[in-house]
């Protein structure tokens, strides 16, 4: 029986003066991949930012394993085991690959453990080991995405929020990233995946929510959503 890792209850948020989230409710069961679809500006990224504490919630709640984290500061949420990999990867371009990973493990108090986890990430992504002394900015787009995910894995989070991991990547690389996400999930990480590329996302996820102008307009099992005519027309390219 599966526990619910993350619950959003009627979450509202403002982005500047724009009412970006108008009451979002969704659930992410433990061990699953759930995807959040929608066109640009629908509020997908804002949803993730509100969960991770970058954007304050105006009302509603975020519960993480039953604990209300709506008002927690971003850095405290990380320590609880909820990690957000932001859109555009946001790696530290002037820092080396290894330093990027170390910072991912900032909340770890034990230096040895941190070193061990870096090794673990290198096992996951051998290409990062080759480039550990290079600065992050010199990596290719795909490698940067790997680094971003690897950095998030440093604390071995219970839940991973991924924002557009396929953005700007060529199809071949997208496939590799998706394979990695699947692998992490199979090892036990729960994933909330935001994607533009609905085709890819629905293939990976068990369940999907569709967001339009700050509201959930549709949800269901991925297989069902993939068949839905409206989805096909709007997001899968009819």
Q: Whats the size of the chain, residue-wise? A: 238
Rounded least distance, CB 11 to another protein, Å = 18
Among residues 140 and 183, whose Cβ is nearest to another protein? 140
In the bound state with another protein, the residue whose beta carbon lies nearer, of 3 and 113, is: 113
Nearer to another protein by C-beta: 39 or 215? 39
Closest CA relative to residue 21, chosen from 12, 30, 31: 12
- Nearest to another protein of 25, 127 (CB atom): 127
Q: Report the nearest approach of another protein to the CB of residue 96 (Å).
A: 10
Tell the smallest beta-carbon distance from residue 232 to another protein (Å): 9
CA distances from 199 to 30, 58, 112, 162, 208 (A): 23, 32, 41, 16, 12
Nearer to another protein, 29 or 218 (CB): 218
**With contact defined as beta carbons under 8 Å apart, do 31 and 65 qualify?**
no
Which residue from 164, 131, 169, 159 is spatially nearest to 45, judged by alpha carbons? 164
Residue 2 CB, nearest distance to another protein (Å)? 26
- Rounded CA-CA distance 175/166 in Å is 9
Q: How far is the CB of 1 from another protein (least distance, A)?
A: 31
CB 75, min distance to another protein, A: 5
**Which one, 25 or 96, has the nearer CB to another protein?**
96
* Residues at the interface with another protein (CB under 8 A): 17-18, 39-41, 52-54, 73-76, 78-79, 83-86, 90-95, 99, 102-104, 106-107, 140-142, 151, 155, 168-173, 175, 196, 199, 203, 233-235, 237-238
CA 123 to the chain's CA centroid: 21
Show Cβ contacts of residue 72 under 8 Å, excluding neighbours closer than 6 positions.
Answer: 53, 80
Q: In angstroms, rounded to a whole number, what is the distance separating the alpha carbons of residues 237 and 235?
A: 6
């Amino acid at each position: 029986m599966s526990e619910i890792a993350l619950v959003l209850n009627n979450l509202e948020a403002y982005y500047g003066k724009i009412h970006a989230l108008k009451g979002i409710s969704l659930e992410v069961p433990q061990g699953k991949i759930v995807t959040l679809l929608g066109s640009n500006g629908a509020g997908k990224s804002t949803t993730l930012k509100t969960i991770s504490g970058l954007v304050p919630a105006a009302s509603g709640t975020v519960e993480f394993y039953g604990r209300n984290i709506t008002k927690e500061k971003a850095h405290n949420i990380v320590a609880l085991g909820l990690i957000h990999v932001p859109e555009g990867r946001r790696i530290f371009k002037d820092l080396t690959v290894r330093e990027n990973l170390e910072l991912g493990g900032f909340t770890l108090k034990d230096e040895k453990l941190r070193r061990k986890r870096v090794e673990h990430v290198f096992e996951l992504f051998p290409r990062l080991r080759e480039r550990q002394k290079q600065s992050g900015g010199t990596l290719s787009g795909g490698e940067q995405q790997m680094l971003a995910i690897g950095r998030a894995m440093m604390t071995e989070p219970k839940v991973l929020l991924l924002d557009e991991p396929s953005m700007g990547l060529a199809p071949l690389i997208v496939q590799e990233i998706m394979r990695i996400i699947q692998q992490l999930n199979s090892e036990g990480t729960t994933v909330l995946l935001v994607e533009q590329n609905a085709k890819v996302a629905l293939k990976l996820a068990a369940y999907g929510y569709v967001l339009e102008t700050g509201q959930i307009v549709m949800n269901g099992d991925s297989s069902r959503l993939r068949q839905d005519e409206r989805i096909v027309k709007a997001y899968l390219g009819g």
